[in-house]
């Protein structure tokens, strides 16, 4: 997004693009993010792995590294579990395929013990104007 990411915030603190409005578990946070960005394949950190649920994994199986495994998660159903070492290559393949994607990382814990996940990256192809923010920031209007 920026040629020099270190200059992107101009000395201001960096804030996540999205944080859950209410405390919820993995499945609730995943659904909230998926509703917020329906055009993007959502990769969510869960421990030392990244998850891609069945709706987002459909059609992406060929892009995911061969080492990705299928797992079932409560509230999410079948997911593809991606090793963090495979994430940069997966993101590159998604970009080349022109597929919007978002990353939500674990950033701490709520007092209730649930892990806090926040949207830290949202990538869309340059031709996408699905977001009003993107349209206004690029001068593209619909």
Backbone φ and ψ for 119, nearest 5 degrees, come out as -70, 120
pLDDT means per 10 residues, the chain with 142 residues, are 51 62 78 86 89 68 70 83 89 88 84 80 75 44 36
- DSSP E strands in the chain: the ranges are 18-19, 41-46, 49-53, 69-73, 77-82, 101-109, 115-123
Does the pTM exceed 0.75?
no
The alpha carbon of residue 68 and the mean position of all alpha carbons in its chain are separated, in whole angstroms, by 17
Q: Which CATH number fits domain 21-123: 3.40.50.1370, 3.60.20.10, 3.40.50.720, 3.40.1170.10?
A: 3.40.1170.10
Per domain, the residue ranges of the chain are 21-123
Q: How many residues does the structure list for the chain?
A: 142
């Amino acid at each position: 997004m920026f040629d020099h990411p270190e200059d992107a915030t101009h000395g201001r603190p960096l804030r996540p693009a999205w944080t859950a409005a209410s405390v919820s578990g993995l499945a609730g946070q995943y659904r909230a993010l998926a509703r917020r960005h329906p055009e993007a394949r959502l990769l969510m950190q869960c421990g030392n792995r990244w998850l891609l649920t069945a709706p987002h994994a459909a059609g992406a199986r060929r892009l995911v590294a061969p080492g990705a495994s299928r797992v079932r998660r409560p509230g999410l159903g079948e997911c593809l579990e991606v090793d963090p070492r495979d994430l940069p290559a997966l993101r590159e393949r998604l970009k080349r395929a022109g597929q919007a994607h978002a990353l939500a990382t674990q950033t701490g814990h709520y007092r209730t013990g649930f892990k806090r996940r926040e949207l830290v990256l949202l990538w869309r192809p340059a031709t996408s104007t699905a977001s009003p923010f993107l349209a206004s920031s690029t001068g593209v209007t619909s």
